[in-house]
Amino acid sequence: MSRYTAPLADLRFALYDVLDVEATYARLPGCAAATRDVIDAVLEEGAKFTEQVLAPLNASGDQEGCRFDPATHEVRTPKGFKEAFGQYVEAGWIGLTADEKFGGQGLPETLGAALKEMIDAANLSWGNYPMLSHGAASALEHHGEDWQREVFLKPLVEGRWTGTMCLTEPHCGTDLGLLKTRAEPNADGSYRISGTKIFITAGEHDFVDNILHLVLARLPDAPAGVKGISLFLVPKFKVGRDGRIGERNAALCGSIEHKMGIHGSVTCVMNFDGAEGWLVGQPNKGLAAMFTMMNTARLAVGLQGLGLTERAYQNALAYARERLQMRALSGAKFPDKPADPLIVHPDVRRMLLTQKAFAEGGRLLGLYAYVQEDIRKHSTDAAERERAEALVSFLTPIVKGLLTEAGIECTYDALQVFGGHGFIVENGMEQYARDARITTLYEGTTQIQANDLLGRKVLQLKGVGLKHFLAEIGAFCTKHADDAALAEFVGPLIKATKDWSDITLELAQRAGADPEEIGAAAYDYLFYSGYVALAYFWVRSVAAADASTQSQDFRDAKRRTARFYFARILPRIHAHAAAMKSGASTLLDITDAQFG
């Protein structure tokens, strides 16, 4: 049976000692309420909810899955899921970071991210339901009209209704310019939405009475391609401008997908047959509104990879300490036992340390991005807001791409620690490996994140976010240049960041001559960037631990894990650099026919 304990000690260390959120929130308007007492209370209560309510439903939800009734077009979620959502809403979690004027608590996004990691580690499938609502609420807050915020946003924040994102169609995923869903205007200002959307998370379920679908569609006079996309809100039950609930809308679940993992999270085919909807934002400007939802979701999915890494690591570590298997190569470490536990063996330690390094370093990377989002939202300094926005934009594909790919690597390593027992359902490890696989696919595949990072955030936008991030790393290294305790890390970090800058300039020059170089290098550039970013946060972690009141054992563990990261994981950048330097020809010279 798989176990989960919220990593409260490391979350507090990340928030207080490394990121110093107390000082940041104290100076940001609207964040002063997030004192240490409040943060600790949220973390502790969140831990209780995730450990005691969500985690026990994880395996049963996977085994039971969701059930679709074709006669009623309704979906029944696994036993206990609906009740858990009720408790979540009753406790006020649903509106934790939402604006108070819409019924939320107005706490910082970073605090919501810490809670989300715990939710995803405890029960990734269940966590998808509130995650989609958060994205829908964000789109309405930024792009909706006043009456839409009043009528639709408040019920979302209160948890009376939930939301979805309806983007993908059977013939188009990433290339939204190909979508065919149509929107015809009605005399009363509403629209008739017709088309089919697929892969719709939480498109139909039994948690609440009404579901708000945010649907991309084309107006009759829309230009071709992505410039002709508009965003519409289509409720399961019709809702008038006065907030009155009407009849069942022509927005029905046609079927649900049978998936490799996240069985407790329903994935729907949604059919819109002249369904009543309302335009959100300006006509033909739906892509901007969609990216408000998408960017929110991409950071959130990065946290899913982090949560799975943490959960898998906890169970692999416990098993490695308990399972007796052979003797250490240097002689018995536990001579009173018939064999030594797995944890004495070097390669088992390699797998465990890989998980630990990604979990603790990835936690800092993810929370740092959310701190920048809080600064972007609340700072009164225009230059500071601009810098934070550039950093969030730059880091989003790294958080999403690296932490989800790390989630796959770490859940597989955790399963490997269990050996054959990891392949057995009862131990829970195979579920994490299956659940992790989707995180690199939805909300933009790893390849999409890579192209977004190199092609748009670095080259098209002149690398503004990268420059800010490199400047921050440079300032940190300068500050600690004479710190003998950090010398083993600062020197390699300086070298890695210089090489990062150099290879970025080289790729920019090559892309100017041949744009195919962007696609050929993007994947490796994403990982190169991610590994250097984690190196920075690991050095910060060691510095913060040394300066903290943490126990000597805690401080030693941080240093030794950082040493492992620099010796065993950071060197992966050299392979990625070699791949980037090989150029596009190694991929494009072979003809289509020669693939076989």
Active-site positions read 443
Parallel, antiparallel or unpaired: strands 210-217 and 161-166: parallel
Distance CA(196)–CA(203), nearest Å, equals 12
Distance CA(204)–CA(200), nearest Å, equals 9
Using alpha carbons, select from 410, 373, 409, 413 the residue that is nearest to residue 393. 373
Distance CA(152)–CA(150), nearest Å, equals 6
- Measured in degrees and rounded to the nearest 5, phi and psi for residue 188 equal -85, 5
Neighbours of 267 (CB within 10 A): 21
Sequence-ordered list of residues with C-beta below 8 angstroms from that of 148, at least 6 positions apart, any chain: 140, 233, 278, 280
Sequence-ordered list of residues with C-beta below 8 angstroms from that of 401, at least 6 positions apart, any chain: 302, 440, 446, 449, 450, 453, 526, 527, 530
- Which DSSP symbol is given to 333? S
Question: ∠ CA 69-253-66 to the nearest 5 degrees?
Answer: 50
Using alpha carbons, select from 175, 172, 177 the residue that is nearest to residue 197. 172
Using alpha carbons, select from 439, 356, 354, 360 the residue that is nearest to residue 401. 439
For tokens 């969701």, the residue is 66
* 544-547-549-555 Cα dihedral, nearest 10 degrees: 60
Distance CA(271)–CA(278), nearest Å, equals 17
SS3 98: coil
Buried b (16+ CB within 10 A) or exposed e, 219-255: beebeeebebbbbbbbbbbbbeeeeeeeeebbbbbbe
Distances (CA, A) of 554 to 351, 354, 544, 560: 20, 18, 11, 10
Neighbours of 96 (CB within 10 A): 22
- Measured in degrees and rounded to the nearest 5, phi and psi for residue 195 equal 155, 180
572 contacts 527 by C-beta, under 8 angstroms:
yes
Burial of 474 (0-12, 13-18, 19+ CB in 10 A): middle
- Which DSSP symbol is given to 78? P
Both tokens of residue 106? 């107005």
Per the DSSP assignment, residues forming a β-bridge with 162 are 211
Parallel, antiparallel or unpaired: strands 230-235 and 267-280: antiparallel
77 contacts 266 by C-beta, under 8 angstroms:
yes
Using alpha carbons, select from 440, 437, 355, 456 the residue that is nearest to residue 401. 440
Neighbours of 43 (CB within 10 A): 20
